[in-house]
Amino acid sequence: MFGVFSGAVLGFLFRPSIPLVGQLPLDVVLTRGASLNGVDTLLRSAAEQSFDYVMFGRILGAVVMAVVVAVTKGVSQKPSPSVAATPSNALPPSVPASSPIALAVNAFCTKCGAALGQDVVFCGSCGARRG
């Protein structure tokens, strides 16, 4: 896992610096200050904090690498031929409101079948209300 390693290195490089002491050496950080003796035990909390930086860097590096790998795989994947072959006019044609079927229904009386005008409400032949 290159990401974990590089992340750990970055986390180590960006570990907090202690005043008058500077950044703690790698062995102190990795042991979380367990090897510190005497007055140096005061730096143990700083060593633990630096250790957390390394751990955070490892996690961050792993996440970054996972994203990079995912993106790389996604880019390298060729588009499936089925998607590319799909015609752009695959959508069903829209049915106009003034379709021939609707006009045919309204043009004749539903009761007697006589021809009706566009604005006629009642049939002129049988007097039935227009359906």
Contacting positions for Zn ion (CB under 5 A): 109, 111-112, 114, 123, 125-126, 128
For the CA atoms of 53, 54, 60, 66, the dihedral, rounded to the nearest 10 degrees, stands at -170
Distances in Å between the Cα of 116 and the Cα atoms of 3, 96, 107, 130 are 80, 22, 5, 9
Nearer to Zn ion by C-beta: 16 or 127? 127
CB of 121 to Zn ion, least distance (A): 12
- Gyration radius from the chain CA atoms: 40
Nearer to Zn ion by C-beta: 26 or 128? 128
Nearer to Zn ion by C-beta: 84 or 121? 121
CB of 125 to Zn ion, least distance (A): 4
Distances in Å between the Cα of 57 and the Cα atoms of 31, 50, 53 are 16, 10, 6
CB of 98 to Zn ion, least distance (A): 23
